[in-house]
Structure 1
Amino acid sequence: MWTLTLDTATPYLSLGLFRGEEGLGRVVRVERRHEEVLFGLLEEVLAQVGARREEISAVVLGEGPGSYTGLRIALAAGLGLAQALGVRVYGASSLLAACWPFLEEGGPPLTPLFTARNRLYYGATYLKEGGRPLEVRPPGKLEAEELPPKGLLLDPPPDPRALYQLLPYAREGVEPLYL
């Protein structure tokens, strides 16, 4: 069975299908056209991994932070698919999924930032300890003066494989983070 990962909190559409070590993730910059591209990309990825929708056994959704409309697209699509397929839905931080591939065990903290409006950023700070994510600073809106001097990742897309890898630390259900 396959796990679908989906995030539309940023200008990127992050979508993937994973099962164990196999799978495929795609990240496409679509600006504000997520709804135009999402289901076509899902069909492409299903075909490329040789799976059918009925083989999806779980859905992991990026919870943001992000724009209201951006977050709602993944939530509506993911929750609709999950309900139609009768599978469980899990939520994970979009910021954590964006920096997870760059976090090193025992390494320095990283702060992924998504550009918001009015010269503000959505950001949080994370470490990796014992193979697990550790939230050092919770997600919030930050002004440029509040940014840490090191370890910044500006506007990285949420990684679809990271959403899958974060499944053991995700909670069942979703709680979108609107800041």
Structure 2
Amino acid sequence: MWTLTLDTATPYLSLGLFRGDEGIGRIVRLGRRHEEALFSILDGLLGEVGARKEEIGAVVLGKGPGSYTGLRIALAAGLGIAMAHGAQVYGVSSLLAACWPFLEEGGPPLTALFTARNGLYYGATYARREGRPLVVQPPRKLKHSELPQEGLLLDTPPDPRALYELLPFAQKGVEPAYL
């Protein structure tokens, strides 16, 4: 069975299909046009790995925080695919998926930030300990004056492979993180 990963919390569409060590992911900057491209890109990925939608056994969704409409697109599409094909659904923080590829085991914490409206940021700070994500500061809204002075990742898109790698630590089901 394949695992579909999907995040639309940011201006980027992060979409992937993974099974064991094989798989493929795409990150495409779409602004506010996720719904226009999502299913055609998914069909392309299915073709590249030689799979059918019926072979999707798990769906890992980025649960935000992020754009209200953006979050709804991933949730609606992902839940619809899961319901149609009997797949399990899991949720992962979009901020964690953005910084996971950059976290070094035992290294310093990193703060992932997504630009929000009105000069605010959505941010969370994570570290990697014993191969697991450690939440140093949970997702929150920050003003520019509240930003840490080091270890920042600004507007890095959630990584489709990171969503897959974080599946063992994901919550079953998905509850969007609206801040």
TM-score class, shorter-chain normalisation, is over 0.9
Match of 1:98 in 2: 98
Matches within 5 A, 1:3-152: 3-152=3-152
Cα distance in 2 between the residues matched to 1:83 and 1:66: 24
In 2, Cα distance between equivalents of 1:72 and 1:161: 21
Helix, strand or coil for the counterpart of 1:177? coil
CA apart distance, 1:5: 0.2
Identity %: 77
* CA distance in 2 between partners of 1:48 and 1:88 (Å): 23
Deviation per CA, 1:138-163, whole angstroms, max 9, x where unpaired? 00000111111110000000000000
| Coordinate RMSD, CA, aligned | 0.4
| Matching residue's letter, 2:85 | L
Runs of 4+ that moved beyond 2 A: none
* 3-state SS of 2:32 partner: coil
Distance in 1 separating the partners of 2:4 and 2:61: 8
Q: How far off its partner does 1:67 sit?
A: 1.3
Task: State the match for 2:177 in structure 1.
Answer: 177
Q: Secondary structure at the match of 1:139?
A: strand
CA distance in 2, matches of 1:121, 1:87: 33
Structure 2: gaps of 5 or more residues? none
Q: Distance in 2 between matches of 1:139 and 1:83?
A: 28
Aligned pair count reads 179
**TM-score, normalised by the number of residues in structure 2:** 0.99
How far residue 113 of structure 1 moved from its aligned partner, in angstroms, is 0.3
Distance 1:166 1:177 in 2: 17
State the TM-score, normalized to the length of structure 1: 0.99
Give deviations 1:41-93, integer Å, cap 9, x for gaps.
Answer: 00000001111111111000000001110000000000000000011100000
**Aligned with 1:74: secondary structure?**
helix
* One-letter amino acid of the structure 1 residue matched with residue 119 of structure 2: R
Q: Which consecutive unaligned segments of at least 5 residues does structure 1 have?
A: none
Cα deviation for residue 122 of structure 1 reads 0.2
